[in-house]
Structure 1
Amino acid sequence: MPGATTQAPGAAAEAPAGVGTVRGQVLVRRVRYLVAATISYNVIEAAVAITAGTAASSTALIGFGLDSVIEVASAAAIAWQFSGRDPQARERAALRVVALSFFALAGYVGVESVRALAGAGEAAPSTVGIVLAALSLVVMPVLSHAQRRAGRELHSASAVADSHQTLLCTYLSAILLAGLLLNTLFGWSGADPVAALVIAAVALKEGRDTWRGRPCC
């Protein structure tokens, strides 16, 4: 995308601007902390969402929990990249993992949305799910913005790509919250899978762009 400060895989041998400076080291540590926070939050989020989703027979909640598992895998790839002395040398491999996590998310959300629309089952209202979705709607944009900012300054395409994965969770949180509220208040469960299909399309595009080494935004 014009104006983006990411680095293509073909330039992986070049050191990103600023990494050898004091500011660069501060940013590397910041990315590590943000990734650790993202992993910690998503592990808790996955456990709560899958447990609550199973209790309520909610494919949306279970899917949201599995999305959190995928995000942990993506964040772990970035943690691995920035754990080495030369993060740029691991850039291409980390990008591949992030891209594959987008594809996995798109595939799962798409299939489960179609199943829900085909009448695979009706979910019971879930207060726990509503609280979790609302909390994630607040936490995820903050983590995403901070990681994207640091990634851009480091010229790290993988860190920026992972921030998009976190931001995508924000969209899923909003959709999940809307679906759970509509189900609780009006007994209408069709809104969530329809909107989730849009998110699946976005995730597919993000995965394609990340695989090519040029995540958007």
Structure 2
Amino acid sequence: MNALDVTTRKALLRRGFVLEYTTLGWNVVGIVVLAFAAVSARSVALAGFGLDSLIEIGASTVVVWELSGVGEDRQRRALRLIGVGFALLAGYLAVQSVVVLVTGFHPHHSSLGIAWTAVTAAVMFALAAGKARTGAALDNPVLRTEGRVTLIDGVLAAAVLVGLVLNSALGWWWADPLAGFVLVYYAVREAREIFSAEHAVD
């Protein structure tokens, strides 16, 4: 590896750390904002999205740990942890969506929730794109995979946003849980792919 390659790799690693620490910081703030918004609006969707932020914090922490070391075993353990994160996310989305549909729970209007989920969706999509590019440049499957967690976080934010807006404007309270079922499928698929790839390597 020549000097340029070393310099480039270090720059890419720094970018990876910045992306992950930005994700961590955003989601830590998000938990506080979403807790306040969820209580104010009595919104199951906003409370659930706050739980999703916890999963994203865990996934980002795993990547920071993986980027700090090297080795195939370390990458395999990191991917396994992210796969568990996807499985937990799918479980949470499924339970939340079923509960909202069965109970017919109607949350109140939440201007704070609408504003936060709108900005969060944009931020998560930008971070996911950055992680995908950086992970590809580093040939790091852990960073690429966690980028998909961030992408799901962005899609979920958009789904919650649509649900909040439709509920406020048209009274369509069921829009958000239906979008949640689509995300359940996506999260389950990602978890299955990760565990299948790991099993193939073993």
TM over 0.5: yes
Amino acid paired to 1:74? A
State the alpha-carbon separation in 1 of the partners of residues 186 and 136 from structure 2.
Answer: 21
1:188 and 2:172 aligned: yes
Partners in 1 of 2:26 and 2:62 — Cα distance?
16
Q: Distance in 1 between matches of 2:16 and 2:100?
A: 37
Per-residue Cα deviation, 1:120-169 (whole angstroms, up to 9, x for no partner): 52211111100011101211111111111010111111100100000111
Q: Is the Cα contact below 8 Å between 2:24 and 2:60 reproduced in 1?
A: yes
Structure 2: which amino acid aligns with 1:44? V
2:38 to 53, 69, 82: 53
2:32 paired with 1:37: no
Instruction: Provide, for residues 99-133 of structure 1, a one-character-per-residue CA deviation record: whole Å limited to 9, x for no partner.
Output: 11110010001011011100252211111100011
Match of 1:207 in 2: 191
Superposition pairs of residues 70-149 of structure 1, within 5 angstroms: 70-84=55-69, 86=70, 88-119=72-103, 121-149=105-133
Larger deviation, residues 21-30 vs 66-75: 21-30
TM-superposed CA distance for 1:208, in Å, is: 1.3
Shift of the alpha carbon at 1:213? Answer: 3.8
Higher RCO structure, 1 or 2 (CA under 8 Å, sep 6+):
1
TM-score (norm 1): 0.85
The equivalent of 1:66 in structure 2 is: 51
Q: Distance in 1 between matches of 2:166 and 2:147?
A: 29
In structure 1, what is the equivalent of residue 142 of structure 2? Answer: 158
Rounded to whole Å, the distance in 2 between the matches of 1:110 and 1:118 is: 12
Runs of 4+ in 1 over 3 A off after TM superposition: none
Query: Which ranges of structure 1 fall in alignment gaps of 5 or more residues?
Result: 1-17
| Distance in 1, Cα, partners of 2:22 & 2:65 | 15
Pick aligned residue for 1:25 from 1, 4, 10: 10
Task: Tell me the CA shift for residue 197 of structure 1.
Answer: 0.7
Conserved? CA contact 1:140–1:170, under 8 Å: yes
Per the TM alignment, residue 209 of structure 1 is displaced from its structure 2 partner at its CA by: 1.2
Q: Deviations over 1:35-75 (max 9, x none)?
A: 00110001111221122112211111011111011000000
Q: Please give the alpha-carbon distance, in whole angstroms, between the structure 2 residues aligned to 1:204 and 1:76.
A: 21
Q: Structure 2: which amino acid aligns with 1:70?
A: I
- How far residue 88 of structure 1 moved from its aligned partner, in angstroms, is 4.7
Question: 1:160-175 counterparts in 2 under 5 A?
Answer: 160-175=144-159
The one-character-per-residue Cα deviations of 1:71-93 (angstroms, maximum 9, x if unpaired) are 00000000011123x26552111
**Secondary structure at 2:103's aligned position in 1?**
coil
Identify the residue that residue 7 of structure 1 maps to in structure 2. Answer: none
Q: What TM-score comes out, normalization by structure 2 length?
A: 0.91
Question: What is the percentage of aligned positions where both structures have the same residue?
Answer: 34
What is the Cα-based RMSD across aligned positions, in Å?
A: 1.7
Q: CA deviation at 1:210?
A: 2.1
